[in-house]
Amino acid sequence: MIPSHSKILIADDDQDIREVMHDRLKAMGFEVVEATDGEQALIRLRDDSPAITFLDLMMSKKSGLEVLKAIQDEGLETTTIAMTAYGTIDKAVEAMQAGAYDFLTKPFSSGHLEVVIGKALEREALKRQNLLLSGEVREKDLPIIGHSPSILNTIEFTKRAAASSSTILLQGESGTGKEVFANSIHRWSPRRDQPFVVVNCVALSEELLESELFGHERGAFTGAHQRKRGKLELADGGTAFLDEIGDLKPHLQAKLLRVLQEHEFERVGGTKPIRVDLRFVAATNRRLDKAIREGLFREDLYYRLNVITVSLPPLRDRPEDIVPLTNYFLAQYCARLGKRIKEITPDAWELLQHYHWPGNVRELANFIERAVVLSTRDRITSEDLPLTVLAGAPESSASDTPRDFHEAVAAYKRQVIRETLHRSGGNQSKAASALGLQRTYLARLIKELQIREKS
Ligand SMILES: Nc1ncnc2c1ncn2[C@@H]1O[C@H](COP(=O)(O)OP(=O)(O)OP(=O)(O)O)[C@@H](O)[C@H]1O
Ligand SMILES: [Mg+2]
């Protein structure tokens, strides 16, 4: 179903018809606009972007067929229902050929009107879903695996929060499952049958991101040949997930703040406010309070986003989840890669359980994938895991003699990375893949740990 505040246009020169329909549609909860002739109909279509248009075919100034042609030419998005007088079915057929979705012969009963509206709404909902799906594969609904008290508490808390329409901020280190939770929030919410859109705030340039979020008008910038609805408009009634919100540029932060406060925005190059009913979920692995202090993130936006915060625990703080997650990923990758692996040997379990997982669940998933790909037998042993190198006792050198726990861990990491770099001839990409890390993550570690390669 489409959100009930969607607009419907009634274009008919017969005042009685307009009045009857107006009352009926308003009672159904729609916002209704009217036009008394073909020219006005086009103006309303351009300015109000109605989701559905009832179009009388016999109107002055421009006929219904001419309006249909203009709808096609200008790429105006609306589902049109042609209205014809009784006995002129050939006109209705012509209208359908010109792009109308359905027709209604006058006079009609209110029951008939409701059936036609129902069909049009279904089509609109499908159309929006398709627009949202084009160019991206929607992740299927992923389960949240884990039975540690901390993940169970987090799930329980999030489920309660999901039932409302309040904004939720997901915080957690990289790979802790923020996207999985965002998806679940939508599924657990009363909006589950409405769209769920994901907007990654870092992936695009500022201009592209603005147009992706808010849409644009025809001619708003070079290359904007047609009006395009943004994700926030397409998600109306559903949930918008703003990933990596900490990276949003100031100009867009301001525009987003307005959406959160007033539930409206304008398309790029547009002047008409577009109202939306959205639940927002935002995620970040950056400390937003720090970004605020540095003047990179608006404080007022932070308070708007931070109505309910869900903090996702890092994997190292919930080692109980390592076994169920490992088994889950093992089953997934075996199925995907057509392999059969019967067991994980105790020494491999030992390694998995004692590693500190800086890349959290994603890192674990990557390790298991790699082990399944590389395994030549029907079991996974410690040799199949690139973690082997971490198992041995750290060999302490004079400069790395640990004094406290954190220093010891850092020294250990330094040693492992150095050794691996050495073995891969200083090639960071090779070292990263040997360690099962993302190259960028390894580069960051090297910087953070101030590792200078020993040859
Ligand atoms: N509890 C969980 N159960 C099953 N799979 C999980 C769980 N948590 C995370 N994953 C999986 O781990 C991977 C990383 O999760 P996700 O993308 O949600 O993390 P993230 O917090 O958004 O990370 P980043 O900050 O790097 O974007 C995904 O493949 C996801 O399916
Ligand atoms: Mg993510």
C-alpha 285 to ligand 1 mean position (Å): 12
Percent share of the chain, pLDDT over 90: 41
For residue 454, pLDDT over 80 is answered with: no
Relative to the alpha carbon of 242, which ligand is closest? Answer: 2
C-alpha 360 to ligand 1 mean position (Å): 8
Domain 316-390 coded CATH 1.10.8.60: yes
Which pLDDT does position 403 carry in this prediction?
Answer: 57
Q: Is residue 275 within 6 Å of ligand 1 at its C-beta? A: no
Q: Tell me, what amino acid is at 261?
A: Q
For residue 75, pLDDT over 90 is answered with: no
Which pLDDT does position 135 carry in this prediction?
Answer: 43
C-alpha 98 to ligand 1 mean position (Å): 47
By most ligand atoms within 8 Å of CB, the mutation choice from 140, 179, 285 for ligand 1 is: 179
Phi-psi group of 237: left, alpha or beta (phi > 0 → left; psi -120 to 50 → alpha; rest → beta): left
We find that the CATH architecture of domain 7-133 is 3-Layer(aba) Sandwich (3.40)
Confidence of residue 4 (pLDDT cuts 50, 70, 90): very low
Q: Which of 22-26, 383-387, 393-397, 451-455 has the lowest mean pLDDT?
A: 393-397
Average pLDDT, the chain: 85
**How do residues 241-286 score in pLDDT, each as one tens digit?**
999 999 899 899 999 999 999 999 999 998 889 999 999 999 998 8
Which pLDDT does position 163 carry in this prediction?
Answer: 93
Which pLDDT does position 122 carry in this prediction?
Answer: 83
Which pLDDT does position 152 carry in this prediction?
Answer: 94
C-alpha 362 to ligand 1 mean position (Å): 6
**How do residues 10-24 score in pLDDT, each as one tens digit?**
999 999 889 999 999
Is residue 263 within 8 Å of 232, Cβ to Cβ? Answer: no
For residue 295, pLDDT over 70 is answered with: yes
CATH number of 149-311: 3.40.50.300
Percent share of the chain, pLDDT over 70: 91
Burial of 41 (0-12, 13-18, 19+ CB in 10 A): buried
Stronger pLDDT, 398 or 75, i.e. the higher one: 75
Which pLDDT does position 223 carry in this prediction?
Answer: 79
Is residue 423 within 8 Å of 437, Cβ to Cβ? Answer: no
Q: Where are the domains of the chain?
A: 7-133, 149-311, 316-390, 393-448
Same fold, 7-133 and 149-311: yes
Q: Is residue 176 within 6 Å of ligand 1 at its C-beta? A: yes
Q: Is residue 40 within 6 Å of ligand 1 at its C-beta? A: no
For atom 6 of ligand 1, the residue with the nearest CA is 177
By most ligand atoms within 8 Å of CB, the mutation choice from 147, 155, 180, 363 for ligand 1 is: 180
Q: Is residue 318 within 6 Å of ligand 1 at its C-beta? A: no
Q: Which of 360-364, 401-405, 435-439 has the lowest mean pLDDT?
A: 401-405
